Amino acid sequence: MAGAPLIEFKGVKKAFGAKVVYSHLDLAIPRGATVTIMGASGSGKSVMLKMLIGLFESDGGEIVFDGRDVTKMNEHELYEVRRRVAYLFQGAALFDSLSVGENVAYGLREQNWNTMKDEEVRRRVAQSLQMVGLPGIEDMRPSDLSGGMKKRVGLARTLALQPEVILYDEPTTGLDPINTARINHLIVGIKRSLGLTSVVVTHDMGTAFAVSDYLVMLGKGRVLMMGTPDEFRTTKNPYVRDFIDGKAPEVEDVDVLLSTS
């Protein structure tokens, strides 16, 4: 794997009551790479993202961001991590009571409420909307937008913060093929032009293969496989193979499959 890790999960454990999500999660995400996280529902994909930024606490292990263990940080230190890591929510999470421009500016005003001038905010909003192919729509309302446009406005709000890392939670869910391809193109283009580290959670195999430097398959509380798109296309691991092909696995015990990747 090229590039030094920016993010590392080391022996991470997480459970919600009797439900064990992670028994031993080990994963290294290289700086500047796009890594897509896949797995069945309930395998902990979104939980991983939320543990990284301190929204969920782990039950053990280390979560290292840029050399520092997130699990040992106080709230002020976590705030500094969150300034560097932007989270693109599955449903775009736009405020219906605000205009598009106000939505895109929301994070900027929250983070820089007493230091950023209005002119700079407007410039950053316009620049971000331009980057996602939606220039000049600042005065529109979220209710006037299509599902694909809402996703792109959500991405513009993320880009306005000028993050080092973007966490994409199901970025193409509910979109038609044309808008899915448009979002995939934006993910690739943003990473290429800005050099960001991206972590993508998705069930969409087309998106996974289109945007990723590396793919990760989760199951049984751990990483079952990590590799390039080509390595996933040719894997003989039956669990991974069935997931890619959309088939129900014939072998129920995932532990049996760990040595066949």
Give strand pairing partners of 195.
none
- Cα separation, 52 vs 214, in Å, equals 19
**Residue 87, amino acid:** Y
The answer to whether 7 touches 28, Cβ cutoff 8 Å, is yes
Closest CA to 34 of 67, 2, 73, 68: 2
All structural domains of the chain: 5-260 (3.40.50.300)
Per-residue pLDDT of 140-164, as tens digits, reads 999 999 888 998 999 999 999 899 9
Handedness of CA 226, 229, 235, 239 (dihedral sign): positive
Predicted TM-score (pTM) of this structure: 0.87
Helix (H), strand (E) counts: the chain: 9, 10
Per-residue pLDDT of 213-255, as tens digits, reads 999 999 888 999 999 999 999 999 888 888 888 765 444 444 4
- Cα separation, 118 vs 258, in Å, equals 54
